[in-house]
Amino acid sequence: MTSWYSMPTARDWTCPPSPGDAHAFHQSLPGYSPTPLVPVPELATELGVGRLLVKDESSRLGLPAFKVLGASWACRQVLRERPGAMLVTATDGNHGRAVARMAAHFGVAATVFVPEVMLPQTAARITAEGAKVVWVDGGYDDAVRWAAAFAADQPGRALVQDTAWAGYEQVPAWIVQGYQTLLDEIDTQLGGAPDLVTVPVGVGSLAEAVVRHCRRPAAAHPGVLSVEPDTAACVLASLTAARPRYGQFCAPAATRPSPSATRTHCAPWPTSAGSASPRA
């Protein structure tokens, strides 16, 4: 079932842009190059729009996902504060592999907790990056709890997680900042702002980065359309209820395809509430 929530005043809302200089850091990494904007003329015709472009993140810094942008910047910031720390995270795939890759880049150890539903070949790719993989008897949220407890148990361990909760906001904020690189590239490639930006919500970090970029003061404010599955439509549920609703409250348990569908949305409530029109 498709559901919509539209906020006509969203384009008038503003918020501070993502701080930091993640783009310059990413440009210093081996293998950096902007990912392409790929025209999809058939879909543009079907939708009745002049041009439709897809940001192809299938090869980003040698990995097959945009997640390495946020993870790399967060790892760099964490290690500036805690040099030599073991990097710890939980993942169901791309984020954990990116943290493992950056741990090797910075010459530190990494431990990655993964849920029981992870495919063995996905875990093998994380191990191939040099990280220790720990299997958790449970879903994604269980893996996050194990990772957080493991990191807190020793002073030489640092959690690099892309999910936020009360008391753990700084690292997820750095991950959001890391995605600014993707948005800077789009601005350069287009030579101006698009009419509409469509973004998947997921755990929320990329969506927040898009909102911050598209709602910064003294800049063009294109439309923002966020999209999430109806099995984990936390933003849609939150906007409809006019208050934050998280993870397991977003969909009946019987409709969830796997434990990973219960992820907690991490974008701060005011950011998501005042800026986008979600679709599930």
In tens, the pLDDT along 79-120 reads 999 999 999 999 999 999 999 999 999 999 999 999 999 999
Mean pLDDT along residues 206-217: 92
Residue 41 burial by Cβ neighbours in a 10 Å radius (0-12, 13-18, 19+): exposed
209-223, 231-245, 246-260, range with the lowest pLDDT: 246-260
Residue 269 pLDDT:
42
CA-based nearest residue to 134, from 84, 72, 86, 90: 90
Q: Would you say 57 and 63 are in contact if contact means Cβ atoms under 8 Å apart? A: no
44: phi then psi, degrees, rounded to nearest 5:
-60, -40
pLDDT (tens digit, 9 = 90+) per residue, 267-276? 444 444 445 5
Residues with a known catalytic role: 67, 92
pLDDT (tens digit, 9 = 90+) per residue, 134-192? 999 999 999 999 999 999 999 999 999 998 889 999 999 999 999 999 999 999 999 98
> DSSP states of 219-244 as a string?
S---EEEEE--TTS-HHHHHHHHTS-
Q: Could you confirm whether domain 67-176 is CATH 3.30.429.10?
A: no
CA-based nearest residue to 145, from 119, 170, 115: 115
Residue 115 pLDDT:
96
Residue 247 pLDDT:
52
pLDDT reading at 1 higher than 80: no
3-state secondary structure of 86: strand
The single residue listed with the structure tokens 């998947």 is 200
> DSSP states of 167-189 as a string?
TB-HHHHHHHHHTHHHHHHHHHH
For residues 280 and 260, what is the distance between their CA atoms, to the nearest angstrom? 17
pLDDT (tens digit, 9 = 90+) per residue, 56-79? 999 999 999 999 999 999 999 999
For residues 265 and 180, what is the distance between their CA atoms, to the nearest angstrom? 19
pLDDT reading at 204 higher than 60: yes
CB-CB neighbours of 19 under 10 Å: 11
